[in-house]
């Protein structure tokens, strides 16, 4: 069996300044070893794990997996450092620092653990009980920090563990399928300059995800001059799928560690060329009836019209959405059989695989076969063939308006463009940064559920509904 590993993409340089003191790091890693502890190498634990190992797993894998803990996982501390420095808000970092400092003092430990012994000096079972008590604490900061740090360590350990993928039978590189050929994008670039670069178009679309791709295709094919701008960068199929740790930096918003303010829900959002369509797992669900009715009752009757249904069908047809070519993995087969035995109704989720079989398993890290029909493979190439232009690395700061006595009309966008480095990556120090203004007859904001409201607010729009009515679904 021949396996072609994806080409690696260098990460940006690690942070130079430390976000924690040495004693705070000791306490933090003790929390990590509490969340991800090594397990006893008992005969029962070993035999249970061996029963579920994939065929061909090496004999020593069982012991290595059970003995692994956060502090012994290669690269885990470095990625925690990057995450805290680059992706965690300053006020949240300050709160973490206060708790970590308190856990290394007699008074602080007594107050928040009930013991005068420093947290990192206590045995793992005592530390586990402390974290469990925090989940029920009457102090909101303790409830929040235990959720946040538990999620942080679990998500980083999953990305960095040298044994987890082998235990699950999930190798680094796909062992089925073959690398595909992507669309040859040509991105607009700008020379260095102290003054803003100014270009004009008919329509500028902010974002490159599912909604943006469909808009770009339809408008370009209708003869309009279209420019699609995206904050992130494009990575062709030969670089995909990325590793979990690299994808967190290159393909996901905020390093893949976003969450609600109360840490009750972790949020994973794409930040890539193609938006969420680059990192979703092919699921292609049409808007359900009760949602369409809610929107219609709220003053948008289009969503219960036959025209909207025709639009959904056209999008699904272009992507080849169906359930006919799905080959379920072991996990799905177990769920399907369990549902059957319990008498539950169960359906396969339609996938956008171009009307063909696509057994990948890695699409949430970027589809290296170019078979998943996300925007990068379908709608954006269609737009490009119709004359649309593209800009990567352009973070739009605000929408530009022209005001009259009667109205306020969007006439363009303004933001900061950052080039690739001399090696065509994004980790070098020799990148060009320049302010860019795009003048347009129409502006379409399609930069995702989380970022679109922020852009509207930065643009001084005052509608009280901006940023409200967000719904998230657990998955």
Across the 475 residues of the chain, what is the mean pLDDT of every consecutive 10-residue run?
73 88 96 93 76 77 90 95 91 92 94 94 95 92 91 93 88 77 95 96 97 98 98 95 92 86 82 95 92 95 97 97 89 92 93 90 90 96 98 98 89 97 88 97 96 96 90 78
Query: What sign does the dihedral 327-330-332-333 (CA atoms) show?
Result: positive
Torsional class of 366: left (φ above 0), alpha (ψ -120 to 50), beta (otherwise): left
Cα–Cα dist 179/369, whole Å: 4
Spatial neighbors of 362 by CB under 8 A, at least 6 apart, are 174, 240, 241, 368
User: What are the tokens at 460?
Assistant: 């001084």
**In which residue are the tokens 């306020």 written?**
408
**Cβ 254 vs Cβ 197: under 8 Å:** no
Q: Provide, rounded to the nearest whole percent, the portion of the chain with pLDDT above 70.
A: 99
Q: Are 4 and 93 in contact (CB under 8 A)?
A: no
Helix (H, G, I), strand (E, B) or coil at 227: strand
Give the pLDDT score at 424.
87
Predicted confidence at residue 349, as pLDDT, reads 92
- Cis before 469? omega within 30: no
Identify whether the C-beta of residue 142 lies closer than 8 Å to the C-beta of residue 134: yes
Task: Please say whether the beta carbons of 274 and 306 come within 8 A.
Answer: no
pTM of the complete model? 0.91
Helices (H), 209-329: 210-221, 244-250, 276-279, 289-297, 306-319
Q: How far apart are CA 183 and CA 384, in angstroms?
A: 9
Cβ–Cβ < 8 Å for 216, 383: yes
Predicted pLDDT at 52: 75
Q: What distance separates the 2 farthest-apart alpha carbons in the chain?
A: 80
pLDDT at 3: 56
Residue 1 is predicted with a pLDDT of 46
Q: Report the distance separating Cα 159 and Cα 247, nearest Å.
A: 9
Q: What is the pLDDT of residues 166-211, one digit of tens each?
A: 888 888 777 776 788 999 999 999 999 999 999 999 999 999 999 9
């Amino acid at each position: 069996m021949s396996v072609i590993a994806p080409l690696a993409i260098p990460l940006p340089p690690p942070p130079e300044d430390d976000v924690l003191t040495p004693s705070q790091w000791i306490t933090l890693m003790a929390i990590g070893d509490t969340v991800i502890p090594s397990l006893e190498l008992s005969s029962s634990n070993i035999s249970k794990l061996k029963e579920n190992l994939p065929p061909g797993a090496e004999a020593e894998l069982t012991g290595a997996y059970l003995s692994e803990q956060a502090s012994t996982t290669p690269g885990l501390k470095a990625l925690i450092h990057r995450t805290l420095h680059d992706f965690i808000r300053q006020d949240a970092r300050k709160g973490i620092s206060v708790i970590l400092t308190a856990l290394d003092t007699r008074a602080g430990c007594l107050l928040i653990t009930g013991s005068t012994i420093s947290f990192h000096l206590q045995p793992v079972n005592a530390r586990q009980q402390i974290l469990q008590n925090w989940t029920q604490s009457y102090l909101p900061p303790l409830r929040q920090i235990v959720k946040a740090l538990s999620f942080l360590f679990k998500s980083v350990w999953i990305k960095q563990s040298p044994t987890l993928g082998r235990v699950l039978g999930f190798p680094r590189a796909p062992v089925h399928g073959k690398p595909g050929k992507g669309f040859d994008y040509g991105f607009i670039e700008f020379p260095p300059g102290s003054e803003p670069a100014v270009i004009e178009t008919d329509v500028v679309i902010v974002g490159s995800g599912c909604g943006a791709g469909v808009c770009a295709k339809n408008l370009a094919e209708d003869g309009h001059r279209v420019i699609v701008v995206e904050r992130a960068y494009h990575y062709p199929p030969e670089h995909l799928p990325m590793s979990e740790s690299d994808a967190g930096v290159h393909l996901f918003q905020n390093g893949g560690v976003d969450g609600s303010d109360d840490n009750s829900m972790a949020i994973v959002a794409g930040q890539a060329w193609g938006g969420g369509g680059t990192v979703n797992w092919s699921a292609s669900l049409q808007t359900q009836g009760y949602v369409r009715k809610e929107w219609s009752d709220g003053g948008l009757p289009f969503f219960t019209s036959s025209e909207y249904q025709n639009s959904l069908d056209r999008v699904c047809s272009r992507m080849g959405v169906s359930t006919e070519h799905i080959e379920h993995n072991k996990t799905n087969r177990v769920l399907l059989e369990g549902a059957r035995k319990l008498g539950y109704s169960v359906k396969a989720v339609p996938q956008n695989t171009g009307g063909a079989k696509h057994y990948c398993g890695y699409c949430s890290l970027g589809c290296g076969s170019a078979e998943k029909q996300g925007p990068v493979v379908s709608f954006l190439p269609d737009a490009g063939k119709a004359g649309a232009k593209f800009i990567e690395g352009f973070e739009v700061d605000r929408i530009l308006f022209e005001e009259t006595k009667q109205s306020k009309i969007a006439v363009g966008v303004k933001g900061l463009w950052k080039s690739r480095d001399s090696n065509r990556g994004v980790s070098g120090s020799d990148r060009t940064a320049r302010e860019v203004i795009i003048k347009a007859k129409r502006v379409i904001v399609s930069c995702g559920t989380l970022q679109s409201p922020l852009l509207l607010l930065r643009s001084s729009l005052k509608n009280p509904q901006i940023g409200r009515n967000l719904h998230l679904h657990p998955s």
